[in-house]
Amino acid sequence: MKQAALFGGVIVGLVVLGSGGAVAADYQVCKSTYALCTTAKCTTDPSKGDTVQCACEVRTGFSVGSTPCEAVKKTSAGTQIRSRYFPIKSYARCANNRPWANCYDKECVVDPKDPSKATCTCSVKENEGDYVMVTNSYSAETCTIGLWSSATLAQLDEVTTFIKTHGDLLPHFPLALLNADADTLGSMTPSSAR
């Protein structure tokens, strides 16, 4: 089962072209090599406190972040890139208070044995309201098993609205809410999915 990770920010209507791409408030669209964590499974390490390690995929192309795109960095820890967001097509809405990982704009290290993978150090979140799990199928376990990279429903709504109105460099997919009839939903559906 594929799961999720995303973003944060505030939407404003102003777009300015800078050296790295389009900029609007806390969102910046640019082209780079980045880690995509929208379906990343994460593991805890008791020595790391409130952070977790998440298995993300390495991509090159346009993406959204709240910081400017950075070049790939060679560091003593290995080849370093940053996690960014690319539009999703479907998700499940989770209303329980289970912890999830916030990987948006976090530092990641590319796997030296497999350059298509990166490990990102992400912060643990919970009790921040409904959150999303990026998936192409829904089951009763989607919102209850594992520790996954995710984002709040409000963050998904914000970045989707930004991409719809300013993201000519990124695709905008109609969002499919896979558990619209589930008991865990409540009454709110993101305006971007309507």
The position carrying tokens 């991509």 is 59
On the question of pLDDT at 67 being above 50, the answer is yes
Mean pLDDT of 94-111: 94
Rounded to the nearest integer, the mean pLDDT of the chain is 81
| pLDDT the model gives residue 182 | 56
Whether this model's pTM surpasses 0.85: no
Mean pLDDT of 13-19: 31
CA Rg, the chain, in Å?
16
Q: 190 near 151, Cβ under 8 Å?
A: no
φ/ψ of 163, rounded to 5, equals: -65, -40
Interval 127-186: pLDDT, tens: 999 999 999 999 989 999 999 999 999 999 999 999 988 768 899 889 999 998 754 443
φ/ψ (deg, to 5) at 85: -115, 140
Average pLDDT for 10-25: 34
Amino acid 180 reads A
Phi, psi angles (nearest 5°) of residue 138:
-120, 140
Q: H/E element holding 159?
A: helix 153-166
